[in-house]
């Protein structure tokens, strides 16, 4: 599914974020790369998607692709861990090497501004709005367009999702 293209939006690159270590940053360093932004959780039925996300990272990173994880504890408290616990869990259990950022809110009135922008994009059912569950995936083109939205039940190795990734690889 390729979502209706939204023009490049400054919030994608300039939204104030923090790394998992608490250091202030933005996504500006990723300009020119295709990205998959995912809200992640360690105690969810979808947590095994970490392994497939890491496989995508390894397969496509040399071609200008990066997965970026945003831990979120808004769905039945399924990400209760500290930053250190999240990093240890994801790397020890799933070999995660892609960047993880500080825990954020992805829905509701305190939703992070980055997710405020992402959730304007409709999914394949033409529904925009709130993130419904952990492991919802947003694809961002190298110039910052949000080009795809995949709900949690879409596995990271879904053929349509892979086609969208490969379509937007910069090299």
Residues with catalytic roles: 44
Task: Determine how many CB atoms are found less than 10 A away from the CB of residue 138.
Answer: 25
- Taking the C-alpha atoms of residue 43 and residue 137, their distance in angstroms, rounded to an integer, is 18
Q: Map residue 170 onto helix, strand or coil.
A: coil
CA–CA separation, 38 vs 137, rounded Å?
5
Angle between helices 49-60 and 159-168 (to 10 degrees): 30
Residue 152: which of 33, 45, 25 has the closest Cα?
A: 45
């Amino acid at each position: 599914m390729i979502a209706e293209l939204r023009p490049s939006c400054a919030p994608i690159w300039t939204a104030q974020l923090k790394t998992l270590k608490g250091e202030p940053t933005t996504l500006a360093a990723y300009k020119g790369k295709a990205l998959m932004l995912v809200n992640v959780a360690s105690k969810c039925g979808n947590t095994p998607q970490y392994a497939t996300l890491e496989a995508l990272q390894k397969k496509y990173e040399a071609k200008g692709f990066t997965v970026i994880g945003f831990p979120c504890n808004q769905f039945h408290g399924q990400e209760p861990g500290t930053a250190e616990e999240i990093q240890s869990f994801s790397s020890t259990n799933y070999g995660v090497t892609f960047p993880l950022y500080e825990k954020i809110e992805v829905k509701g009135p305190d939703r992070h501004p980055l997710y405020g922008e992402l959730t304007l994009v409709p999914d394949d059912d033409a529904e925009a709005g709130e993130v419904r569950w952990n492991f919802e995936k947003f694809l961002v083109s190298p110039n910052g367009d949000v080009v795809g939205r995949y709900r949690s039940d879409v596995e990271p190795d879904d053929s349509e999702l892979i086609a969208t990734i490969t379509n937007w690889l910069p090299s």
